[in-house]
Amino acid sequence: MKLAQLLSCLDGARLTGDGETEIEGLYYDSRQVRPGGLFFGLRGVKSDGCDFVAAAVKAGAVAVVTEVPCAIAGVAVVQAPNARLAMSLMAACFYAQPTAGVPVVGITGTNGKTTTSYLIEGILEQAGLPAAVLGTISYRFGATELPAPNTTPESVDLQRTLRELIDLGARGVVMEVSSHSLEQRRVDGCLFDVAVFSNLTRDHLDYHLDMESYFASKLRLFTELLLPTAGKPLRRAVVNLDDPYGAQIAQAASAPVLSYAMDGEADLTVAEVDFSVHGIRCRLRTPRGEMELSSDLLGRFNLYNILAAVGAGLALGLPDAAIRAGIEGHKKVPGRVERVENDQGVTVLVDYAHTGDALENVLATVSELKTGRIVTVFGCGGDRDKGKRPVMGEIAARYSDLAIITSDNPRTEDPRAILDQVRAGLAPLALREYGVQELADGFQEKGFATIESRRQAIRTAVLAAMPGDIVLLAGKGHEDYQILGTEKHHFDDREEAARALDMRKARDAGGKA
Is there a single domain that holds both residue 79 and residue 109? Answer: no
Is there a single domain that holds both residue 286 and residue 212? Answer: yes
Does residue 88 form part of some domain?
no
Is there a single domain that holds both residue 181 and residue 39? Answer: no
Is there a single domain that holds both residue 26 and residue 137? Answer: no
Q: Kindly write down the DSSP assignment for every residue of 244-307, as one continuous string.
A: HHHHHHHHH-SS-EEEE-SSS--SBEEEEEEEETTEEEEEEEETTEEEEEEES--SHHHHHHHH
Is there a single domain that holds both residue 54 and residue 192? Answer: no
pLDDT higher than 80, residue 49 = no
Confidence label for 278 from pLDDT (cuts 50, 70 and 90): confident
3-state secondary structure of 310: helix
Domain extent, residue 134, equals: 104-328
Is there a single domain that holds both residue 256 and residue 359? Answer: no
CATH number at residue 225: 3.40.1190.10
Is there a single domain that holds both residue 500 and residue 354? Answer: yes
Does residue 491 form part of some domain?
yes
Strand-strand pairing, 131-134 and 172-176: parallel
CB within 8 Å of 457: residues ≥ 6 apart: 377, 404, 406, 407, 449, 451
Confidence label for 368 from pLDDT (cuts 50, 70 and 90): confident
Does residue 461 form part of some domain?
yes
Does residue 259 form part of some domain?
yes
Is there a single domain that holds both residue 51 and residue 76? Answer: yes
CATH number at residue 42: 3.40.1390.10
Is there a single domain that holds both residue 18 and residue 36? Answer: yes
Which residue type, as a one-letter code, is found at position 435? G
pLDDT digits (tens, 9 = 90+) for 173-194: 999 998 888 989 999 999 999 9
Averaged pLDDT for residues 142-168: 90
Does residue 475 form part of some domain?
yes
> Could you tell me what percent of the chain has a pLDDT over 70?
96
* Overall domain count for the chain: 3
Question: How far apart, in whole angstroms, are the C-alpha atoms of residue 108 and residue 110?
Answer: 7
pLDDT higher than 60, residue 205 = no
Sign of CA dihedral 385, 390, 391, 397: positive
Phi, psi dihedral angles at 39 (to 5 degrees):
-105, 135
CATH number at residue 467: 3.90.190.20
pLDDT digits (tens, 9 = 90+) for 243-267: 999 999 999 999 999 999 999 899 9
Bridge-partner residues for 128, per DSSP? none
Is there a single domain that holds both residue 143 and residue 194? Answer: yes
Domain limit, last residue, from 279, 294, 328: 328
Is there a single domain that holds both residue 195 and residue 46? Answer: no
pLDDT higher than 90, residue 439 = yes
Domain limit, last residue, from 83, 114, 146: 83
Domain limit, last residue, from 51, 83, 115: 83
Does residue 98 form part of some domain?
no
Does residue 245 form part of some domain?
yes
Averaged pLDDT for residues 459-480: 95
pLDDT value of position 513: 46
Q: What is the pTM of this model?
A: 0.84
Confidence label for 212 from pLDDT (cuts 50, 70 and 90): confident
Tell the burial category of 125 from Cβ atoms under 10 Å away from its Cβ (0-12, 13-18, 19+).
middle
pLDDT higher than 90, residue 111 = no
pLDDT digits (tens, 9 = 90+) for 393-432: 999 999 999 999 999 999 999 999 999 999 999 999 999 9
Does residue 96 form part of some domain?
no
- Please choose, from the candidates 123, 5, 130, the residue with its C-alpha nearest in 3D space to the C-alpha of residue 63: 5
Q: Kindly write down the DSSP assignment for every residue of 29-94, as one continuous string.
A: SGGG--TTEEEE----SS--GGGGHHHHHHTT-SEEEESS----TTSEEEE-S-HHHHHHHHHHHH
Averaged pLDDT for residues 318-337: 92
Is there a single domain that holds both residue 162 and residue 267? Answer: yes
pLDDT value of position 130: 97
